[in-house]
Amino acid sequence: MKIFISILLILSSIFGFEYNLKPKKITEDVYCFFGKLENINKQNAGNIVNSCFVQTKEGFVVIDSGPTYDYASQAYVQMQKIAKLPVKYVIVTHDHDDHWQGNSFYKSKGALLIGPRTYEQNVIAGMQTRMERILGKELYGKTKIVPLDTVVDDNLTLTLGESTFQIKQLTNIAHTKGDLIVYLKEQNVLFAGDLVFNERLTSLRDGSIIGSLEALKKIDAYHAKVIIGGHGSKVDANTTVTLKRYLSQMKKEILEAQDNDIGMEEINKKVTMPNFAEMKLYNVLHKRNVLDAYKELEMMEDDE
């Protein structure tokens, strides 16, 4: 395995990592690349995220540019096979770095970058990102941090060709403090970013269990025919169901434990939720999620 990884890194430094991206057609004009249900590592070169694009008569709109410059450049090649059109806009759904580090490639192609205020606040030119730290110099390659052209504080409506993109922040904090959704009313398609996970667990490290449940309720209120999350390949109208069930059960069990004076040092023995143990990254994320939710719910009770 060590020899394989060494060979991979040598080849990557010469030719760049080959992501083997294959777009899946979701609707007439909507396509997505679906990432692996894993944590970031050198073997996947950060390809753990969903990156989508919408074709219009005037050009493409990308929703989340992916983990690296090379990823974005390879995604662009696949777009050009569909239509010889420019990428006009890139919309960043939130500031976690697996979602936006292809920005510098699209910027080099003349695209305008749109994203939340938290990107402007938390993404600093020259900083070492988690992606760079894990992948290393060779796999990170030409990836650079670039500023947004337009910052969304609450909502923004963007029209390109005959398509209208409604960009909106649903809650003050959910997965992060700056999550944006993108809604295509004409096609009844909603891009939820990391407000929606399926086939693997979410992470509450930068967010809120209460805010996440509120955001999911608001997403369901759109009655979208297609809901595309930030991780996982399910895209039908019921995409939110599993995550809602996971968070709702966790909230209920933690509140019951707190009522019975079970402290944080014991909570992970109580709230194991084995019915979700088969989901990807359960062993990596569930215990941390329980601790984060416990602290939030405890503070909520203290405030009452």
The tens digit of pLDDT for each residue in 40-81 reads 999 999 999 999 999 999 999 999 999 999 999 999 999 999
Span 128-139, mean pLDDT?
Answer: 97
Residue 12's pLDDT is 47
Q: What is the CATH number of domain 8-239?
A: 3.60.15.10
**What CA–CA distances, in Å, run from 75 to 37, 87, 175, 213?**
19, 11, 26, 32
Give the rounded percent of residues in the chain with a pLDDT score beyond 90: 92
CA distance 182 to 196: 13
pLDDT-derived band at 15 (thresholds 50, 70, 90) equals low
pLDDT-derived band at 301 (thresholds 50, 70, 90) equals low
Residue 299 CA, chain-centre distance (Å), reads: 27
pLDDT-derived band at 8 (thresholds 50, 70, 90) equals very low
pLDDT tens-digit map of 148-202: 999 999 999 999 999 999 999 999 999 999 999 999 999 999 999 999 999 999 9
Interior/surface letters 29-68, b for 16+ CB within 10 angstroms, e for the rest: bbbbbbbbbbebebebbbbbbbbbbbbbeebbbbbbbbbb
Q: Are 56 and 28 in contact (CB under 8 A)?
A: no
How many helices (H) and strands (E) would you count in the chain? 9, 12
**What CA–CA distances, in Å, run from 107 to 96, 112, 113, 120, 244?**
19, 7, 7, 16, 36
Residue 300's pLDDT is 80
Choice among 106-110, 174-178, 238-242, 298-302 with the minimum mean pLDDT: 298-302
Is 244 in a helix, a strand, or coil?
Answer: helix
C-alpha closest to that of 180 among 262, 113, 249, 237: 113
Q: Are 94 and 118 in contact (CB under 8 A)?
A: yes
Span 197-210, mean pLDDT?
Answer: 97
How much is the mean pLDDT over the chain? Answer: 94
Contacts of 207 (CB under 8 A, 6+ apart): 173, 174, 175, 176, 177
C-alpha closest to that of 228 among 26, 20, 72, 66: 26
- Sheet with 24-25, side-by-side order of all strands: 24-25, 30-33, 51-55, 60-63, 87-91, 112-116, 150-152
DSSP 186: T
Is pLDDT of 3 > 90? no
Is pLDDT of 84 > 60? yes
Asked whether the CA dihedral 105, 46, 149, 235 is positive or negative, the reply is positive
CA distance 24 to 35: 12
Is 46 in a helix, a strand, or coil?
Answer: coil
Span 21-37, mean pLDDT?
Answer: 98
Is pLDDT of 4 > 90? no
Q: Provide the residue ranges of all domains of the chain, joining segments of one domain with +.
A: 8-239
pLDDT tens-digit map of 95-118: 999 999 999 999 999 999 999 999
Is pLDDT of 2 > 70? no
Q: Are 29 and 53 in contact (CB under 8 A)?
A: no
pLDDT-derived band at 9 (thresholds 50, 70, 90) equals very low
Q: pTM of the entire structure? A: 0.94
Residue 16's pLDDT is 82
Q: Are 226 and 193 in contact (CB under 8 A)?
A: no
Give the rounded percent of residues in the chain with a pLDDT score beyond 70: 94
